Amino acid sequence: MLAREGYWSHMKSSIDPEEVLQGRPYGGVGFICKRIQGLIYKPIEVDNDRITGVQLIQSGKVILNIVGVYLPYYDGTPDQVALYSETLDVLQSVLDMCPPSPVMIVGDMNASLPTQKKLSGMWYRQSPYNQHSLLLYDFLCSNDLCVANFAYGQSVDYTYTKGNKKSYIDHVFLSRSSFEQLTNCSIVDFNVKDEWSSDHLPIRTEILMNIDSGATTGENKLQHPPVFAHVNWDHPDSSVKYKQFVAHGLQAVHKIDVDDIVNVSDAQRILDDKCDEITRVIHAASEKTVNGKTSNYKGKYSETPW
Q: What is the pLDDT of residues 197-207, one digit of tens each?
A: 788 999 999 99
pLDDT at 214 (0 to 100): 45
Q: How much of the chain, in percent, has pLDDT values that exceed 90?
A: 41
Burial of 211 (0-12, 13-18, 19+ CB in 10 A): middle
pLDDT at 213 (0 to 100): 44
266-277 tens-digit pLDDT: 788 788 878 877
Domain tally, the chain:
1
**Is residue 262, in this structure, part of any structural domain at all?**
no
- The residues near 176 (Cβ < 8 Å, ≥ 6 apart) are 144, 145, 146, 305
pLDDT at 278 (0 to 100): 85
**Is residue 187, in this structure, part of any structural domain at all?**
yes
Whether the per-residue pLDDT at 29 is higher than 70: the answer is yes
Rounded distance, CA 112 to CA 129, Å?
A: 6
Q: Specify the pTM.
A: 0.72
**Is residue 71, in this structure, part of any structural domain at all?**
yes
99-112 tens-digit pLDDT: 888 999 999 999 99
Q: How much of the chain, in percent, has pLDDT values that exceed 70?
A: 81
pLDDT at 305 (0 to 100): 64
**Is residue 277, in this structure, part of any structural domain at all?**
no
Q: Name the residue range of residue 73's domain.
A: 7-12+28-207
Average pLDDT, the chain: 82
137-196 tens-digit pLDDT: 999 998 999 999 999 999 999 999 988 899 999 999 999 988 889 999 999 987 666 665
**Is residue 245, in this structure, part of any structural domain at all?**
no
**Is residue 222, in this structure, part of any structural domain at all?**
no
**Is residue 172, in this structure, part of any structural domain at all?**
yes
**Is residue 303, in this structure, part of any structural domain at all?**
no
What average pLDDT does the segment 274-281 reach? 81
What average pLDDT does the segment 54-76 reach? 93
pLDDT at 54 (0 to 100): 95
CATH number at residue 178: 3.60.10.10
49, 81, 118, 169 from 13: Cα distances, Å: 6, 22, 39, 20
